[in-house]
Chain A
Amino acid sequence: MENNNENILQVQNMHVYFYHDHGVLKAVSGVNFEVDKQKTLGIVGESGCGKSVTAHSLLRIMLPRSKMEQGKIYLNPPGQKEPLKLHQMHPKSKNIRRVRGNLISMIFQEPMTSLSPVHTIENQIKEAITLHREKDKKEAQKIALEMLKKVGISDPEQRLTEYPHQLSGGMRQRAMTAMALSCNPYILIADEPTTALDVTVQAQILDLMADLQKSLAMSIIYITHDMGVIAEVADEVCVMYLGKVVEYTDVDTLFYNAQHPYTQSLLNAIPRMDYEGRLEAIKGRVPEPVDLPEVCHFYPRCDQSIEGKCNQEEPPVFQTEEGHRVKCFLYEGGSGPDG
C-alpha cells in the first residue's frame, strides 16, 4: 500500500486503548480503512463502538488516559509525493497542528463545545484562517464572510458580529462547518453532526454537506449511528462493533447484501416506512468493553455463530468480493454462509 493516488487517507491496524483502574478498554483495536478522494466514508455503530475515538485519533487528539498503541495513518495530500505519516507526529507537535484544521478538519455533535462562547463568529473564523493561511485580517474577514454565505447562513454580515449563543442549533452547526472549512481541508471529519438536531434541520445540514463536498472537492468521514443518514451520505461504509470494523463495503452492498450478522441484525432492527411487520431486536446486550477476550465480540448475541470457533479465536478479515471485507468465520475461504 504505497502512495496510491486513489486514497487521500489510509489507516492501518490502529489500536487505541484506555487505561482504567479496573482494566484496559480497547476502544479501537485493529482498525483499517481508506478514504477515497472526494468521497464519503461512513463509520456506523452503536454507542461505545469506538467510532468517535477513531475520529479523534486520526487527528492525533488523545483523550485522557488513552494511548495509541499501534497503527499507521498516512495522509496523501494531492501534489505531494511522500505521504504524511500522522502516526509519527506527537499529539502536541507543531506538525500535527499544521494538519489539524488545515488539511483535516472536524465538526462535532454539539457545536457549543467547540465554539468559544466569548468570541464572535467572525473572530473565531478569522482566527482559524490566520492560523493556517498567510492572510492578513482584511482578507481573512472576506473569506469568513464568504464561508458563511457558502454554508447558507442568512444575513451573514449580521451573523459575523454575533456570539454562538445567539444562534439556533442548526445555525451553530453551520457556523462550525464554516469555520472547519475555512482553510479548504482535504478531509472533513463529521462526528454525529446532526444527531442533536431536528429532522428538518438535519435535512438542511445533510444537503449543505453534499453541496460543499462537490464545490470544495473534499473527502468526508461521516460518523453516525443512524442507518438512514448513512444511506444518504456515504459512498463507503465501515460498520464498527466494540472497537473493531466488522464489515467494510460500499453503501449499496451494505444495504442490499450485508454479510456480517451484526450488520444484518442492525438493519433488521430499524423501523422502516414501507414495512409493517415486527422489528427484529438483537438479543442480549453489548458486553462491558473492559478486558474482553480475543474472540468474536458479537458471538454471544449472534444467531449464526459457530460453537467452538467464534468463541475460541478471533475471526480474521475475509474479502468476500471486490472491496467487501467481512470479519466473520462464516466467510472463511471466500464462501458465503451456505456454501
Chain B
Amino acid sequence: MVENQKPQIKVENLLKKFPVEKGFFKRVVGHIKAVNRLNFKIDMGEVLGLVGESGCGKTTLGQTILRAMEPDDGKIYFNFGNGELQNIMEMSKREFRSYRRYMQMIFQDPFSSLDPRKTILDIVGEPLKVNNIARGKELENRVREVVASAGLNVEHIRRFPHAFSGGQRQRIAIARALAPNPRFVVADEPVSALDVSVRAEILNLFKDLQEELELTILFIAHDLSVVRYISDRVAVMYVGKMVEIAETRELYFNPQHPYTEVLMSAIPVPDPRVDKERKILEGEVPSASNPPAGCYFHPRCEYSQDICQKQTPELEEIREDHYAACHFADKLTLRGVK
C-alpha cells in the first residue's frame, strides 16, 4: 500500500498516568494509566486509525505523542526529514518547541478549537508566526494558500470564527494544522461533531490532502466506518492498552482479538437486508485505575480461560503485519464485518 516503508514515528513503552486525588488536601490515592506502556510505529505517508470506546485512552495517546501532555515514561522517535529517528523525549521543552511545527493536531470540537477573538488570518497564521516561518505579506500569502487548499474562500480570512458553520470551522482547523508544512498530524475525532453530509466532505478533503502532501496521520475516531474509509492500518485500544493492530481490510474482515470481533459486530450496517444477529458484550468497561488482573478483557470475553486471568498477553505478531494481544489469537476463528 505504502511504498516508502520507513517509520515516521515510533513509540516505545509510552506511559501516561493521571493521579486519582481525594480529600481536602488532594492526597493521591492511585493512578489511572490512560496510556499503558504502548509500542507501535506509523510509517511515512501512512494513515493509522485508532479506535476504541470512550475512556480507553485514545485522546490521551494522541496528545502525549505530541507532548501536548508530558508522558510519564517511554520514548517517542520522530523522523524530521533527515532520515534518522530522533527521540523527542530527550529534548528539553524549549528545544522541542522549534520542532513542534512538524507535528500538528486537529481537534474534535470545531467550536472550542478556534479562538473566537481572532480572525482566520490570525488563527491559521499563528503557527507560522510563532515559529518565524513567515511574516507580514508573506504570511498572508501562505495563509491564503492553505485556506484555499482546505476549500475555503480566501476572501474570508478577515472574518471571525463565528461567521462559519461547523464544517467550515473544521476546514479552518485543518488549514491551521497544515500551514507550517507538518510531517505528521494527529486528528482527534475530526468528523464526530459534524453532520452526515458535511462529514463526507471533510473526509474527502482529508483523503485528498493526505495524498497530495504525503502526510502521516494518526486518525482517532470511535466511528468504525469512518476509520475504515480513511485508514491504511487500524489499531484497537481497550483500557489503555493496544489489543490489535493490522492493515485495515485484514482487521475488519479477519480480526484476531475477541474485543475487535465484538466491535465489528456492533457496527450498525446501513442495509436492512443484512442479518442483524450480533455479539452483545456483557458487563461494563473496567475502571482504568483498577483494571482486572491478567488480560483486561477477560471478564467480558466469551473465549476466556484460566490463563487469561493470570497472565497479561503482550502484543504479538500473529501474521505478517498483524499484531494482537491475546493468548489464543492464532487459535480462535473470529468473525469480521459482513
Contact = CB atoms under 8 A, between A and B. Distances in A.
**Touch between A and B in complex, CB under 8 Å?**
yes
Instruction: Identify which of B199, B271, B278, B285 gathers the most chain A CB atoms within 10 Å of its CB.
Output: B271
A273 B199 CA distance: 16
B284 A207 contact: no
A170 B284 contact: yes
Interface stretch (B5-13, B182-190, B224-232): B224-232
Contacts of A278: 204, 207
B81 interface: no
Interface string A132-151: 00000000000000000000
Contacts of B199: 269
Nearest to B284: A168
Contact of B278 (A201, A203, A269): A203
Contact of A271 (B165, B226, B265, B281): B226
Contacts of A270: 196, 200, 225, 270
Interface in A264-295: 265-273, 278-282, 285-286
B197 A265 contact: yes
Given A282-B197, A285-B167, A202 B268 contact: yes
Contacts of A227: 196, 270
A268 B203 CA distance: 13
B53 A200 contact: yes
Most buried by A among B53, B272, B273: B272
Interface residues of A, number: 45
A171 interface: yes
B195 A46 contact: yes
Interface in A141-189: 154, 168-171
B121 interface: no
Interface string B261-275: 011011111111110
Nearest to A207: B280
B42 to A, nearest CB: 21
Given A168-B285, A228-B225, 5 more contacts: A171-B284, A198-B53, A273-B225, A281-B204, A286-B197
6 contacts: A200-B281, A225-B195, A231-B270, A231-B272, A273-B252, A273-B269
Interface of A: 46-47, 154, 168-171, 198-204, 206-207, 225-232, 251-252, 254-256, 265-273, 278-282, 285-286
In the A-B complex, list the 8 residue pairs whose CB atoms are closest, starting with the nearest.
A228-B268, A271-B229, A203-B266, A269-B200, A281-B201, A198-B53, A282-B197, A281-B200
